[in-house]
A and B are shown apart, each in its own frame.
Chain A
C-alpha cells in the first residue's frame, strides 16, 4: 500500500469558515495485489471545517494505524475490511480511502467497470449546477440565467445567515419554474424556525443540512414543521445514522458521499436503506480529483440516485487534474457516462501525482506503529 498526500491547485480559491483554500488536499491510497493495483481517494478538507477529519489526520491514521495490519492479509470483501476497521471509531474519510482502493483493485482483478461491481446500471449520470455566495445578487442571477440556458435540470444555491430569504426571493422571482435547492452547511439552529417557515414558501426541491453537523433529533423537529423536504448531508455518516434518521423522520432526501460514510459498502447500504424507505438519494461531492469524481459517477448509477448529483468536469476546478483523461461531460449531455473499462476510466498520472505530493508513505505489513516488542 502506498499513500500520497497531495495538494492540487484550484483555479479559484475555495472559501471556508476560516479563510480560503487555494489547493485541494487529497489523500490517495494505491493498493497492490499481485500484478494489479487499485486507487482510492479521500478528501476531507484541509482543516476540520466540513467534518472533524482533515487530510493530515487521514494520512497519519491510514499510514500508521489502519494500514499496517491490512497489508499482507487477504480481504475477500469490502465488508470484511470494514468490519476490521470497525474497532476504530469515527474517521469515515480515512477508512474510505482504504476501502475505495479495495473496490477499484477488485474491479481491476475482475476486469469489470466499477459500477457493474456495485450493481449499478450503465446509464448516464446527470449533473446539477451549483453556485456559492456571490458578490451581488445580480451576479448570481446572471450565473443562474446561464445555467438555465445550458439546460441544467437543477441548481443548488449555498445559503447562510444574511444570504437566504432575500436571495431566494430574488431568485424565485426571476426563475419561477426552475428546480432549486439550498445547501445550508449546518449554518442554522432551531431558533431559525421562523426563517425556515418563510423559505418553505419558495417551493424548493429540498433544504440541505440546515442544522448541526451531527444532529438527527433537531432535524426531525424541523422537518415536522416544514413542507419542504430536508436533505441530510453531514449528519449521515453511517448506515446506523441512516436507520435512525428514518426512524426519527429526520429527512426526506439523502446526499451520499462515499468519503463521508466510510466507503462504498456503506454508501450502497445507505442507498438501499433509503430506497426501501421511500427516500430518494443523490451523490454529493467533495473537492476531489478525477479519481474521486470517477468513483462518484460509478456509484450514482444505482437506481435510487434520483436527483442530479454534485459531479463536475475537471476543468471547473483544475488547470490540470491528476487523471488522464480528465473528467468531462459526455458530448452533448450535462452528465457522465459510467466506465466502459475495468474500474474507472480516469487513470492517475504518476508524474502529476509525484509533482503534487507533500507526503508519501509506503505501508508495510505489520503491527501498527506505537506498539512495542511482544505486544
Chain B
C-alpha cells in the first residue's frame, strides 16, 4: 500500500501515581503516536520509550525527532506491501527500535482496516482470552506490599511481579515468600545487578520463583548466560532482546529460558512475531510486556498476546489501573470479573485516539504528505 500521509503526535497524558525511575519520577507519560494514511484508510501506531533514556537508549524526544527527520521521508510516498518492506527500508538506520516500531505498528493497523480484519488475525493469533498479571513496585514498607499482594490475589490475579532492587531485594523477597508460599511470583531487576551479585542470586534461587527478569546490564547476553548456567530459576530477558538477532544469540549462548516481548522494544510487530516463533521453536516460553502506553498500545499488545507461545500472564493492565486520563475512546478494561482481555472483534483494534483528547494533550505535531 502506498503511504500518502504521515502525522506524528507527541502526546503527554497524566498517570494516577508518578512512575519512579532512576533519575526521578515521571508524573506523565510522554508518548509518540503515528498516524498513517493510504487512500481513505488510516492506521495508528504508538511507541513509548520513557521520557528520558532510562529503560533503553531511546527517549520520547529522541523518537519524535528521529521519525521526523530521518524515517518519515523514507516512508511517505512509498509503497509497502508488507511490514518486512518497512523493515528493509529502514535497515540502514542502526538501533532506534522504538522509532521504527511507531511506524511499523501503524502500518499493521492500516493493513487491518484495509482487510477489515481484527489485528490478531493478521498476526496469526488464536487465543480467545489474554491473561493479565499484576505487578508491584517499591513500597514505603513491607506491610503495604503484603497488603497489595493479598489484594491482587483476592482480585484474581494468577501471578505477581515484584520490582527487585538494591535495598528492596532479599529483605523483601524472603518475607513475601514466607507469607505466600504457593503463589506464582517473579522478580524484575531492570538490569540493576552485575555478576558480582551471584551469591545473592544463589539465595534468590531457593525461593521458587517463576523467573528472574533482566538481572544484568540492559545490552548483555554473555553474562546472563553465565548467570543462567549457575541458577535453577529461569532467567527472563527483557531489555537485552531488541531484535531477532539478539534472540538467536540468546538461544545459542543459553542466556535465558523465558522471554518478555514488547513490540516497541524490538522494532515492531513483525519482529515480535518472529521472536515469538524463534522462542517457540527452541522451547522458550514468552509473555507480552508493556511500557507506559495508552490503550492504543495496550490494545495492540492484547492482539499480539493471542499467539500460542505467550503462555505466562502478561504485563497488560487495564487503563484505569494507572492512567488518569487516557487518550483513546473506549479505553482498555477487563470485560468481566476475570483478569483476562478478549481480542478484538472489529477491524484492527477497538481503541483509537479520540480527537478531543488529542486536541487537548498533544504537545508537538508534524505532518508529511506526498
Interface residues of A (CB under 8 A from B): 16-18, 47-54, 56-57, 60-61, 64-65, 87-91, 212-214, 216-217, 240, 244, 248, 367-368, 370-372, 375
Residues of A close to B249: CB separation below 8 A: 217
- Whether A375 pairs with B18 at a CB distance below 8 angstroms is yes
Say whether, besides A48-B95, A216-B222, A57 and B54 are in contact (CB < 8 Å): no
Contact of B57 among A49, A90, A368 (CB under 8 A): A90
- Whether B52 pairs with A91 at a CB distance below 8 angstroms is no
Say whether, besides A214-B219, A368-B52, A89 and B93 are in contact (CB < 8 Å): no
Residues of A close to B80: CB separation below 8 A: none
Say whether, besides A87-B54, A371-B27, A48 and B70 are in contact (CB < 8 Å): yes
Residues of B close to A91: CB separation below 8 A: 53, 57
CA distance A214 to B257 in the complex (A): 23
- Whether B65 pairs with A65 at a CB distance below 8 angstroms is no
CA distance A89 to B24 in the complex (A): 15
> Does B55 sit within 8 A of A, measured CB to CB?
yes
- Whether A48 pairs with B94 at a CB distance below 8 angstroms is yes
CA distance A64 to B53 in the complex (A): 12
- Whether B54 pairs with A60 at a CB distance below 8 angstroms is no
Residues of A close to B337: CB separation below 8 A: none
Contact with A along B49-76 (1 / 0, CB 8 A): 0011111111101100110011000100
**Minimal beta-carbon separation of A165 from chain B (angstroms):** 24
Contact with A along B331-359 (1 / 0, CB 8 A): 00000000000000000000000000000
- Whether A65 pairs with B61 at a CB distance below 8 angstroms is yes
Residues of A close to B61: CB separation below 8 A: 57, 60-61, 64-65
**Minimal beta-carbon separation of A243 from chain B (angstroms):** 10
Residues of B close to A64: CB separation below 8 A: 61
The range of chain B's interface size is: 35 or more
Which residues of chain B from 1 to 37 have any CB-CB distance to chain A below 8 Å in the complex? 18, 21-28, 30
Instruction: Please list 11 pairs of residues, one from A and one from B, whose beta carbons are closer than 8 Å in the complex, sorted by A's number.
Output: A49-B94, A51-B94, A56-B66, A65-B61, A88-B23, A88-B53, A90-B53, A213-B94, A370-B28, A371-B27, A372-B27
**Minimal beta-carbon separation of A61 from chain B (angstroms):** 7
CA distance A82 to B30 in the complex (A): 26
- Whether A54 pairs with B66 at a CB distance below 8 angstroms is yes
> Does B85 sit within 8 A of A, measured CB to CB?
no
Residues of B close to A370: CB separation below 8 A: 26, 28, 30, 51-52
> Does B109 sit within 8 A of A, measured CB to CB?
no
**Minimal beta-carbon separation of A52 from chain B (angstroms):** 3
A-B contacts counted at CB < 8 A amount to: 105
- Whether A57 pairs with B52 at a CB distance below 8 angstroms is no
CA distance A372 to B22 in the complex (A): 17
Residues of B close to A213: CB separation below 8 A: 94
Residues of B close to A48: CB separation below 8 A: 66, 70, 93-96
**Minimal beta-carbon separation of A114 from chain B (angstroms):** 28
Residues of B close to A61: CB separation below 8 A: 53, 59, 61-62
Residues of A close to B93: CB separation below 8 A: 18, 47-49
CA distance A213 to B245 in the complex (A): 12
CA distance A53 to B96 in the complex (A): 8
Q: Which residue of B lies closest to A84 (CB)?
A: B23
> Does B92 sit within 8 A of A, measured CB to CB?
yes
Contact with A along B251-274 (1 / 0, CB 8 A): 011000000000000000000000
Contact with A along B196-226 (1 / 0, CB 8 A): 0000000000000000000001110111000
- Whether B94 pairs with A52 at a CB distance below 8 angstroms is yes
CA distance A54 to B25 in the complex (A): 26
- Whether B53 pairs with A89 at a CB distance below 8 angstroms is yes
CA distance A368 to B21 in the complex (A): 13
Most chain-A Cβ atoms within 10 A of its Cβ — which of B58, B61, B94, B96? B94
CA distance A212 to B222 in the complex (A): 16
CA distance A368 to B22 in the complex (A): 13
Residues of A close to B18: CB separation below 8 A: 375
CA distance A358 to B180 in the complex (A): 59
- Whether B222 pairs with A217 at a CB distance below 8 angstroms is yes
CA distance A248 to B22 in the complex (A): 31
CA distance A99 to B315 in the complex (A): 38
Most chain-A Cβ atoms within 10 A of its Cβ — which of B25, B30, B253? B25
Contact of B56 among A60, A90, A217, A367 (CB under 8 A): A90
**Minimal beta-carbon separation of A48 from chain B (angstroms):** 5
- Whether A371 pairs with B24 at a CB distance below 8 angstroms is yes
- Whether B92 pairs with A65 at a CB distance below 8 angstroms is no
Which residues of chain B from 85 to 99 have any CB-CB distance to chain A below 8 Å in the complex? 92-96
- Whether B218 pairs with A87 at a CB distance below 8 angstroms is no
Say whether, besides A89-B54, A370-B52, A375-B27, A52 and B218 are in contact (CB < 8 Å): no
Contact of B94 among A50, A56, A216, A217 (CB under 8 A): A50
Most chain-A Cβ atoms within 10 A of its Cβ — which of B57, B66, B92, B95? B57
Of all A-B residue pairs in the complex, the 9 with the closest CB atoms, nearest first, are A90-B57, A52-B95, A17-B92, A87-B22, A57-B62, A370-B51, A60-B61, A48-B93, A47-B70
